[in-house]
Every structure is written in structure tokens, then in C-alpha cells.
Chains A and B, each alone.
Chain A
Amino acid sequence: MSFSLPAAVLAELERILPRYPNRAAAILPALHLVQKEFGHIPDEAIPCVAAAVGTSPADVEGVATFYTMYNRRPVGKHHLQICRNLSCSLMGAEHLLAHLSGKLGIRPGETTPDGMFTLSVVECLGSCGTAPVMQVNDDYHENLTVDSIDALLETLRAGE
């Protein structure tokens, strides 16, 4: 069966297109829509996005791989993205990362076997005054401690 973008994604894209003087400018929003739908950017979606915005699959692939936020591989239900830049490190981010890694039994870049959690290390999230910080999917969790991380993981697990 051939892959195609869901009608809702294409309809949303049509709504976005008039905001730009040319269709190719909508590559970034188009990829955001795809990721929202699938949780990552499936390989099969690349030519579909290219067709929708009137550019080549190579252009879309180039954009999809340039930006860190586009997941080119599937991620867990909860994508834990912990900042390890300087302000967060000074406030204990490395310790928290080790704790998370131990507790989940995975290293950064890996996903738990049940598909619940992917652990990633990211660069500055612009939350330095409330460090250490971790972004989980769309949401920021700030002023983290070992205890608050444990509580957060419980909440996320319970939300299954």
C-alpha cells in the first residue's frame, strides 16, 4: 500500500500555505505537522511533503536532518529531553541525567523496550534561571530534582 499524508494534515497545510509567498517556505511547518501526526518523520513522508510544497525530496530530507527537533526515527510516547548546557550542568543536570538513565535502564538516544520513554540530551532550552530543565514532548519541567523527576515519571507512567 502506498503511503500518503492524512487528509487532515494536507488540509492544515493548505491553510498555512497562503501565509508565505511561495510553497517551499512551508517545509518547516509541514514537517511539524507530520511529526505531530506520527511522532517522527517517517521516510515515506519525505516525498509526500516534497510533492505538497512543490520541491524535491532531497530538499525536504536536507531540512528534516538539519533541525534537531525533527525525529528521523520513532521515539517513545514520552520524549525526555534533558538540557546539559552550562547553566543546567552547574545546577546538577549531569547527576539528573545519570539518575534518569539508571532508573529507565537506557542511555541517551535510546528508548525503553515498552516504548514509553526516549531519553535525549539537548542543548540550551532557554530556561537557565529555572535550571535544571527537561522538556517532555511539548512541556517544560523546571527546577528539577531527583525527587521531582521520580514523581514526574510516575505521573507519566500512570497516564498510560
Chain B
Amino acid sequence: METVLTTHFADERYRRIDGYRAAGGYEGLRKAVSMPREAIVEEVKKANLRGRGGAGFPAGVKWGFLPKDLSRPRVLVVNADEGEPGTFKDRLILERGPHLLVEGIAITCYALMIHRAYIYIRGEYVRETRILDEALEEARAAGILGKDMLGTGFDLEVTLHRGAGAYICGEETSTINSLEGKRGWPRLKPPFPAVVGAFGLPTLVNNVETLADVPWIMIHGGDRFAALGCEKNGGTRLVGVSGPVVRPGVYELPANANLRSVVYDTAGGLRDGKRLKAVIPGGSSTPVLRADEIDVTFDIESMAKAGTMAGTCGVIVIPEGTCMVRALSVLMNFYAHESCGQCTPCREGTGWLKRITGRIEAGEGRPGDIELILDLCENMMGRTICAMADAAAMPARSFIEKFREEFDRHIAERKCSFGNRF
């Protein structure tokens, strides 16, 4: 299979600019600066590149939202705040191919006349920050970043900005607030970041993987990238598999890879003769699938038809013997901890979801608790500034829908039949 991102990831030298160049790195940028700017954008549109941060919005269309008027400087914010539980793919790019990201940033900024880029990287990624910082320094020394990019007269400054531990800062308007030195509270839209974003300026926010795909698209063309995937889903996806599988890890697969095949072939199936119970396909916020529901491909439309989402392609494999009430309780603790507290339905709702799932797991559930959870979800979804409330409600609803008998049994028997453990 043809790979876009990971081809040289096993090679240590690829992390440094010399090794990256030896493998054809920065040729995409070289080609881009010889093209008219509109032609660069056109290739990305043809590529059917969908945002890799979880929402899957077409990147070329998002680029097109920046106002035509160039009188106000524009900003690129790179979202490297990877935090969705089950997701660890951007970290791989940052560690093994930092220059792919730097080159993607350079091409994107050149195409869109952006002279200022900020990389918002999660604070815990200290090692990755160091690697990326070194890559940026190398790119400056090579005349790629800074003044006069490759002799084109185009200037581009890139700054690393570390987060400090807040899941919500992966939400693009929260990222922007955090970059501005504020609490990571999402902003009401409109105005959209493309019009009023970071520091009040027109701002494009793109995920690490999205930008890292751009150099390949420049070299090989949008059509070829599109052909690697399927209709409306161009290219490849970095699929992360976690849980008790034989080979957990990040795999680069066609955008329409089959979930069953990912679990059983790519990741080698479950360890120690365990049997599959459930799969969360796209990060913790995406609805869970039962073992008999995983014959589905990763393209965004197929996942939606199966009642879930491709999200960040963070596959969490759950084996038989796992208490689904406990699993949900772990997730609800997470969302309650990470709610930014700005909107009442999310702040209170995630807190109640945590308390109710917690008491059911502890054998203290009350009749009507399941209906209460479903009612809470109904009153959270779509009623807040950002999608965080939905992100908490979707797993809660789907766990109950798919594994209701376990919740019923916990309440009826007033205990966890799995012994309150994993």
C-alpha cells in the first residue's frame, strides 16, 4: 500500500533536516513556490483532504473561508493539542517526521499569504516540543522559515506555544483563547475564526496530520492523493489502536480501511485468547460499536451510517470481561474533569453523568437512573457553545443503547457483577 506520511518513519535520520531532504523532503515546498497560489489551493481541494482533528471538514473549503481582502494580516494556528482519549497519532508525526509538519505549514502559509503561524502543542508533550523546536531551528537556518523563504521574498515566522493541560484547548476557538493567554473557553460562532480569530485576525486552524499531508499532495498531485482513499475521503489516515490487542500502535491505512480488519489483521486481534466485546472507533467521544457491528469502513460517511464517527481514528478495543458501566464511568470522569465550566448544560451535565454512572457502578444505582442519564444527554446535546457536551453525551447514550442489560443488572442487583474492576 502507498503511504503518505509514515514511509520513512523508521529511519532516525528522517527526523533531522538532512535526512528529511535526502528522502525528498522540502521538494513539495520547492514545487509550491513555483506555482500560482490559487493552483496550490486547487490541488488541496482536488485531494479531498478532510480535517484530521476529528471533525473531518474539507481542508480546501476551510482554506477558502479566509477573507479575500489582504489588508489584515492572517494567522495559522496549528492544532497539536492532541488530547482525545484513544488518540496518539499526531505525536508520531511530531516525533518521527517533524519536518513534514514544518513543510506543510510553509506550503499552506505561502499559498494563503499567512506570515505568522503558531503551533499550539499540548503541554505534556515535552519531548515532542523539543524535537519540533529543533526542526523549526533547522528550517530557519536553511532559509525555509524566517525572512525570504527560499528566495521568494515571502516571510514566515513560526512560534511554538505550549498548552498546559486542558482537553478543551483542542477545540479551535478554545485553542485561540489559550494562545491569547486566556482560559481555554470556547467562543461563540459566528464570527468564525476565519474572520475574527487569534488576536482578532483572520485565522486558519488546522490539525497536525492535515498539514503533514500537504507536502505529498504538492509532489504527487491532488488527484493521486484522492485516489488513495475513497469518494469524499482522500488519502490515508493514521489509525491508532489501543487496548489489549497483539500489536497496539499507529498504522497508516487508506481512508476507507475496514474496522474489523484493523482490529484483527493490522493489530493482530486480541491478546491472551481474549474475545472482542466492543470497539470505540474514533476516540472516546465517538459512539461505541458492539463486536458484531464492526464491519464498517473508516470513511466519514460509512461511519455515520453505522451510527458512529471516524473522529480521530483512535480505535479503543474493549475485550469480553470488561464492565461497560465501569468503562463508561471512566470516560464520564474524564469529561466532568475537562468541561471548561462555561456553559451550564455541559458543566452540570458532565458532573451528573459522572455521579450517576459512578453510583450505578458502585451498586448504589436507583431505578430510573438510566432514564435520567438519557434525559441529561438530551438536554446537553446541541445546547452549548462548543461540541464538548455532545462529546460526553454520545458515549453515554451509546453505551446504554448497546449494553443496557449491564446497566439494568447493576441497578437490580445493587452490585457490579464484574467485581468493580477491569
Name A's B-contacting residues (CB within 8 A): 19-22, 24-29, 31-32, 53, 55, 59, 62-63, 66-70, 84-87, 89-92, 94, 122-131, 135, 138-140
Given the complex of chains A and B, what is the CA–CA distance between A26 and B240 in angstroms? 34
Residues of A within 8 A of B340 (CB): 66
B168 CB to nearest chain A CB (Å) = 9
Instruction: Write the nearest CB–CB distance from B409 to chain A, whole angstroms.
Output: 21
24 pairs, A vs B, C-beta closer than 8 Å? A20-B159, A22-B199, A25-B199, A29-B162, A31-B164, A32-B123, A32-B164, A59-B182, A63-B182, A66-B340, A67-B184, A70-B164, A70-B165, A86-B327, A91-B243, A94-B422, A122-B165, A123-B83, A124-B85, A124-B87, A126-B125, A128-B316, A129-B241, A138-B127
If A26-B181, A28-B181, A90-B318 touch, whether A129 touches B88 (CB-CB below 8 Å) is: yes
Chain B contacts with A in 202-233, Cβ cutoff 8 A: none
Q: Is the CB of B86 within 8 A of A87?
A: yes
Of B28-36, B331-339, B345-353, the one with at least 4 CB within 8 A of chain A? B331-339
Chain-A contact segment, one of B15-23, B244-252, B357-365, B400-408: B244-252
Taking a contact as CB atoms closer than 8 A, the residue among A25, A94, A123, A127 that contacts B88 in the complex is A127
Q: Which residues of B contact A85 (CB under 8 A)?
A: 85, 284, 330-331, 334
Query: Across the two chains, which residue of chain A brings its CB closest to B420?
Result: A94
CA distance A34 to B334 in the complex (A): 28
* Cβ–Cβ contact A86 & B316, under 8 A: yes
- Shortest A43–chain B CB gap in Å is 18
Chain B residues within 8 Å of A90, by CB: 242-244, 316-319, 322, 327, 422
Are B327 and A126 touching (Cβ within 8 A)? no
State A61–B357 Cα separation when bound (angstroms): 33
Q: Which 3 A-B pairs have the closest CB atoms?
A: A67-B164, A68-B165, A69-B165
Within the assembled complex, what's the spacing in Å between the Cα atoms of A29 and B161?
A: 8
Known interface pairs A22-B199, A62-B183; A129-B250 also in contact (CB < 8 Å): yes
- Chain A residues with CB under 8 A of B83: 123-124, 126
User: Known: A25-B179, A87-B242, A91-B244. Is A128-B88 also a contact (CB below 8 A)?
Assistant: yes
Cross-interface CB contact of A125 among B124, B240, B317, B330, cutoff 8 Å: B124
Give chain A nearest CB distance to B124 CB in angstroms: 6
A86 & B166 in contact (Cβ 8 Å cutoff)? no
| Shortest distance from the beta carbon of A146 to any chain B beta carbon, whole Å | 15
Please, which residue of chain A has its CB at the minimum distance from the CB of B314?
A128
The contact of B178 among A28, A122, A131, by CB within 8 Å, is A28
Cα distance, A20 to B338, chains bound together (Å): 27
- Tell me which residues across on chain B come within 8 A of A86, comparing CB atoms: 85-86, 280, 284, 316, 327, 330-331
Instruction: Kindly name the residue among B90, B127, B161, B318 whose own CB sees the greatest number of chain A CB atoms within 10 A.
Output: B161
A28 and B422 within 8 A (CB): no
CB distance from A60 to the nearest CB of B (A): 9
Best-buried of B125, B181, B241 by chain A (most CB within 10 Å)? B181
Chain B, residue nearest A30 (CB): B181
- B248: chain A residues at CB < 8 Å are 128-131
Write the nearest CB–CB distance from B117 to chain A, whole angstroms: 11
Q: State whether A123 touches B167 (Cβ < 8 A).
A: yes
What residues on A are CB-neighbors of B338 within 8 Å? Answer: 123
**Residues of A close to B390: CB separation below 8 A:** none
